[in-house]
Amino acid sequence: MSNIIIKNIIIIIFLLESRFFYLIPMPKIISKFNNYSNKFIIFLVIIITVFSIIVSTKKMYKIKQFKFNRIMVLFIVMFISEIILSYINYHQGFKNILMSSYYFLIILFYYILMFYIKKIGSIGFIKKVIISFSLILSIIFIIQSIKYNAGGVYFLKTTVFDMKDLPFRNGNIRLTFASTLISLGIILSFSEVLKGKKIIEGNNLLNVVSFFFSSYYLLFVCQTRILIICEVISIIIMILFKAQNNFLKKSLILMLTVLAIAYISNLNTTQMFFASFNDPVNKVSNMYRLEALNYYIQIIKENMFFGMGFVRPLEGTDAFTLVHGYQGYLYTTDVGIVGLVSIFGLLGASWFIGIIIKLFYMLLRLKKYKDAVYYIELIGIITFLIFTSATIIVTDPQRIILLPVIMVIFEYYYLKYTPQNYGQ
C-alpha cells in the first residue's frame, strides 16, 4: 500500500474522529455509528486498512520490530480470551459481544501510523494534523458556544446521540465533543512553542494560535474540570523540564508560575471554576461517580483476574443491571482505570501499567542521549496520561484513539534519538 493512500486514510480517520468538524450533516446510519461514544465506522476503517497493509507488504517481520508490538499482541490475546469467556458466561451472541467491545481494537491504529512513519521517517505530519484539527475544532466550538449563550443559535451538525442531556456550567453551555483531539493538541502545540525555532517541526505561528484557541475552548467551552487540571499540570511539568539544567531560569520560571497562579486564582472565571465543585448539580454528579466507583470495585473483587468481560447492556435484561448497576446510571467510563479493570480484571491492569512502564523506560533512555527539550511533548503526554487515568482514561471509547497516537509519538522519538535500530 502506497504512502499517499496510507496518508489519506490517516486523514480520513482523524476527520471521522472530529466528525468533519461538525459542519457537514451526516446520514442517520452514519451518525449512529460515528459519534462521540460510538466509533464503529472508525473501527471498520482501521481493521480493513491494517489487514490491507499486512497483505500488501507480506513482511510480518516488520511488525515484530515495532517497539509496542508485544504489548499489542498481548492485548489481542487478552481481547480474544475475554470474548470467549464472555460468550461462555453470559450466553450473548458474538454480535452483541462485538458491539460491546469493538472500540478497544481501535488501538490497532498504531500499526497504520507506524507503517507510515517507518516509510517517511517523520512524525511531523501526524502532529501537524492533530494541532491543525485542534485549532479548527476550537474555533468552531468557541463560535458555537458564543452564539448559543447569546441567543440560543445552534449550528453544529450533531446527532441525538450527542445532544442527549446537553449540560451547562456557570450558566454556559458545555460542549465536550471536540475535547479528545484538542486535549492532545494543546500539549503538542505548547511543546513545539517550548522547543524554539531550531527544533520545532513546522510553523510556530500555527502552534501558538492553536494553543491559544484550544486552551480557550478547554476553559470556557468544554469546562471539564479534571481535563483542565491535568492539562495545567502537564504544561507546568513541561516548563520545569525545559529549564531543568539552568537553576536561575528554573527559579525564575517557578516564581513566575506562582505569580501567574496567584493572579489567575483571583479572576472571576477562576473563582467560578472552583465554586462549580460545590454546585448542587455537580455534587450529584460526584455522588453518582462515587456510587460507580464502589460498584465497579465490587465487580473487580468478584471477577479479579478476568473482570466481568464484554457484556452488551440490553435494556430490560440482567446484562443491563450487571453493566450499569441496579441504579441504571453507572458507567465504567466515569471511573477511569477502575472501569478498565472491571472489564479486563487484573490482566487488563497489568497490560495498561505495562504501557506506562514502557513509556517511562523510553523516556529514561532518551534522557541519556538527548536534552529533554527535543522530546518535551513526551513528558507532557505521560503526565497527562497518568493523571487522566483516574477518571477519563484513554481506553474509554471517547478517547481511545489517543492511545495508539501516544505510543507512536513515543516510539518515533525513541528510535530517532537513541543509538539503535529496529532490528536490535
Q: Could you tell me what percentage of the chain is helix, strand and coil, using 3-state DSSP and rounding each to the nearest 5?
A: 75, 0, 25
Reduced to 3 states (helix: H, G, I; strand: E, B; else coil), residue 3 is helix
Q: What is the CA radius of gyration of the chain?
A: 22
Rounded CA separation 359/411 (Å): 9
Query: Exposed, middle or buried, 383 (CB in 10 Å: 0-12/13-18/19+)?
Result: buried
Rounded CA separation 417/370 (Å): 7
Q: What pLDDT does 408 receive? A: 97
Which residues have C-beta within 8 Å of that of residue 397, sequence separation ≥ 6?
37, 38, 39, 103, 333
Rounded CA separation 317/323 (Å): 10
Rounded CA separation 391/382 (Å): 16
Instruction: Check if the beta carbon of residue 245 is closer than 8 Å to that of residue 258.
Output: no
Reduced to 3 states (helix: H, G, I; strand: E, B; else coil), residue 168 is strand
Q: What pLDDT does 170 receive? A: 72
Q: What pLDDT does 253 receive? A: 64
Per-residue pLDDT of the chain (424 residues; tens, 9 = 90+): 788 999 999 999 999 999 999 999 888 888 889 988 899 999 999 999 999 988 887 666 678 889 999 999 999 999 999 999 999 999 899 999 999 999 999 999 999 999 999 889 899 999 999 999 999 999 999 999 999 999 889 999 887 656 656 777 777 889 999 999 999 999 999 999 888 765 555 568 899 999 999 999 999 999 898 999 999 999 989 988 887 666 666 666 667 666 766 666 666 666 665 565 556 666 677 788 899 999 999 999 999 999 999 999 998 899 999 999 998 899 999 999 999 999 999 999 999 999 999 999 999 999 888 888 889 999 999 999 999 999 999 999 999 999 999 999 999 999 999 886 443 4
Q: What pLDDT does 104 receive? A: 97
Instruction: Check if the beta carbon of residue 6 is closer than 8 Å to that of residue 116.
Output: yes
Instruction: Check if the beta carbon of residue 167 is closer than 8 Å to that of residue 356.
Output: no
Q: What pLDDT does 172 receive? A: 84
Rounded CA separation 49/116 (Å): 12
H or E element, residue 173:
strand 172-173
The 8-class DSSP code of residue 61 comes to: H
Q: Which three cell numbers stand for residue 35?
A: 459519534
Rounded CA separation 105/60 (Å): 19
Rounded CA separation 139/134 (Å): 9
Could you state, in order of their start, the residue ranges of all structural domains in the chain? 3-245+279-287+318-417
Q: How far apart are the first and last CA of the chain?
A: 26
C-alpha neighbours within 13 Å on the C-beta side of residue 272 = 10
Instruction: Check if the beta carbon of residue 404 is closer than 8 Å to that of residue 349.
Output: no
